[in-house]
Amino acid sequence: MDDATFHLIRERIGEPGFAAEVLKIATLAESDLDTCLCLYFSAPGKHLTFIELVCGPMGYDGKVRLLEKIPGRKGLKSRMLALTTLRRIQRIRNLVAYPTFFMPHSKIRQLENDPEIISIFRTSTDRLSETLRDCRRGLYHLSRSKEWIHDDRSASVPSSVDIFIERWRKAMNA
């Protein structure tokens, strides 16, 4: 990686708008990952409890590692798309979330191995939004594959009413 690219990355990391967009994208991707993992591991009607008790305490990296550990019966393209984009978002998020003066230069220089990350820094945040779209597409297809669908086929994403009731219950118990 040449010095100009290195300095460009350090400059972009310090821009509040870019940092906010990266953190927003990472949060949205993590939320979609929560739903995907929830559909795989939980019984019908237990989505919100699973997200609260299992996914809540896990960090971004733990959730991605969990997804990586789930054995698949076949190599799904959507699985690879989801994992690749989740890791890409994580690497960019970590650069933004942790100031570069605490981060060794070698960590920033490792980015040259991923041309997609370099292109995100060189272009607008639209490229970052495309990465989120790819991530969501991979998680969506993966969570609706035969690998994820339970025998009773009644597991689904919680409805708005379920989410409202769960939040109301938490507020009343707080």
Question: pLDDT digit string (tens) for 80-114?
Answer: 888 999 998 888 888 887 766 666 777 777 777 88
pLDDT value of residue 31: 87
* pTM recorded for the entire structure: 0.63
Instruction: Tokens for 84, please give them.
Output: 């690749």
Chain position carrying tokens 């118990």: 173
What ranges do the domains of the chain cover? 3-173
What integer pLDDT is reported at residue 69 of this predicted model? Answer: 84
pLDDT at 34 over 60: yes
